Structure 1
Amino acid sequence: MTAPEENLWLATVRKNPDHSPNFAQRWRTLAAEGQDIFGEARTVDAMVARGSRILDAGCGTGRIGGWLSEQGHQVVGVDLDPHLIDVARVDYPKAQWQVGNLADFTIAGAAGERQEFDLIVSAGNVVTFLSESERLPALQQLREQLAADGRMIIGFGSGRGYAFDDFEADAREAGLALQQRYSTWNFHLPADDFLVAVLGRK
């Protein structure tokens, strides 16, 4: 599978306008059934001090960033789907939610200065939805939002058009250094089917 020429999420929504509401309802249903949908969020919580500044990149309905905001962190979530952002604002009002494409977004403070985050998380295969032309710019934008001693954690599966080696090469070009590599959000040893990469500024 080669890299997509168009953002896969936008392409899917264009073909099926009900995709976003169905996606949001699926997560709400899983939560209502008592399924554990916050595993990645618990991992992130363990990586930072209480009250940390966290960016949820490709936040969707806010299940990760929203949970983290309820633990006392200062959370901003960014996603290109306005419907999912609306759901996040309703379900998790303690966080700040913003519509934006990871390839060209900017989060500014009250005085217009660029915000920096102690940790940036991107879960749910978000990076594999990016088009080929969005991949490097997205990683560069994320790096610019990362505090000097901050960390970034990105997880996605294999067979989705973004080879792990290609991702790591893009990360290096974006000015990021791979610090740890795992195969699960529970930090199991590296494997071929899933990547959880912990990165920092070079």
Structure 2
Amino acid sequence: MLENDGAGPVPGVSADGWLADTRRSYDTVAGSYADFVRGSLEQQPYLRAALALFADLVHTAGGGPVADVGCGPGHVTARLRQLGVDAFGIDLSPAMIDVARRDHPGLRFAVGSMTDLPLADASAAAVLAFWSLIHVPDDEIPAVFGHFHRVLRPGGLVLAGFHVGDGSRLKTEGYGGHPMNVYVHRRRPDRVAHWLRDAGFTVDAQMVFGPDDSVPGAVIIAHR
């Protein structure tokens, strides 16, 4: 999920209740968030290129089901399907899943959490976490990457996209002025790559987008 305005700096972050806060926040903004991201990929050629590369790597590895974890309203899931990938979406927010099913009725979506990923071991060809890690506290990331590793087949791919930077900010409002209560975490690519390696992945590529922007983005592609 992408960050919008309405965030302010905080001196520290507590993980207590973050899943419930994230679910409630995105249930509240589901419709307006879908409007916010609709067509956004058309304005971001480098992110489109990263998704096309990811899709090509999935095809080269033999294809198979690809989990878009934290899929939100399903716009990236739909892009992967346009690229010929057997993608399906999982999101913590039931309201987001309702919007995804409404906007993309031919695709598969389910409610679920990346902290307890409802997929069988070695059942996925790839996992996509497209700006869906930004609300996950640091101490939960190793477990999340452990779930990614568990559900991937040997050689399976993971793409993680995230905000680049340091520290965390509390987001209390966004997407049409609706109330939210989520922390937004910014991270350095080398740190995310370290977590991936510790979870058993080999890092294949790191890309930074908009390095001169106030909040750059990054994508890391790795394989099991």
Shorter-normalised TM-score: what interval?
0.7 to 0.9
Identity %: 21
Does the CA-based 8 Å contact 2:142-2:195 persist in structure 1?
A: yes
Corresponding residue for 1:62?
Answer: 74
Shift of 1:6: 4.7
| Aligned match of 1:132 | 138
Superposed displacement of residue 82, structure 1: 0.8
Match for residue 198 of structure 2?
173
Contact 1:153 1:199 in 2 (8 A): yes
Secondary structure of 1:118's aligned partner: strand
Matched, 1:151 2:157: yes
Map of 1:111 onto structure 2: none
Offset, 1:172: 1.9
For 1:21-40, list aligned pairs within 5 A: 21-28=31-38, 30=39, 35-36=42-43, 39=48
Q: TM-score, normalised by structure 1?
A: 0.75
1:127 shift after superposition: 1.1
Correspondence for 1:197? 220
For 1:17 and 1:78, the matched residues in 2 are separated by: 14
Q: Contact 2:134 / 2:186 at 8 angstroms: preserved in 1?
A: yes
CA distance in 2, matches of 1:3, 1:163: 17
More strand by share: 2
**Paired residues, number:** 187
Q: Which runs of 5+ in 2 are unaligned?
A: 1-9, 166-184
Q: How does 1:37-116 map to 2 (within 5 A)?
A: 39=48, 41-49=51-59, 52-108=64-120, 114=121, 116=123
Letter in 1 for 2:222: L
CA 1:83–1:194 in structure 2 vs 1: closer, same or farther (change >3 Å)? same
Code of the aligned partner of 1:24: A
Q: Is the 8 A contact 1:6 1:131 kept in 2?
A: no
Query: Could you say what the CA RMSD is over the residues aligned between the two structures, in angstroms?
Result: 3.1
1:175-194 per-position Cα deviation (integer Å, ceiling 9, x unaligned): 11212112149xx9xxx943
Give the number of the structure with larger relative contact order, counting CA–CA contacts within 8 Å between residues 6 or more apart: 2
Contact 2:74-2:89 at 8 Å conserved across structures: yes
Q: Which runs of 5+ in 1 are unaligned?
A: 109-113
Deviations 1:134-154 (A, max 9, x none): 211111111111121221111
Alpha carbons of structure 1 residues 3 and 150: separation in structure 2 relative to 1, 3 Å: farther
- The secondary structure found in structure 1 opposite 2:156 is strand
Distance 1:100 1:13 in 2: 10
TM-score (norm: length of structure 2): 0.69
Query: Aligned partners of 1:13 and 1:102: how far apart in 2?
Result: 12
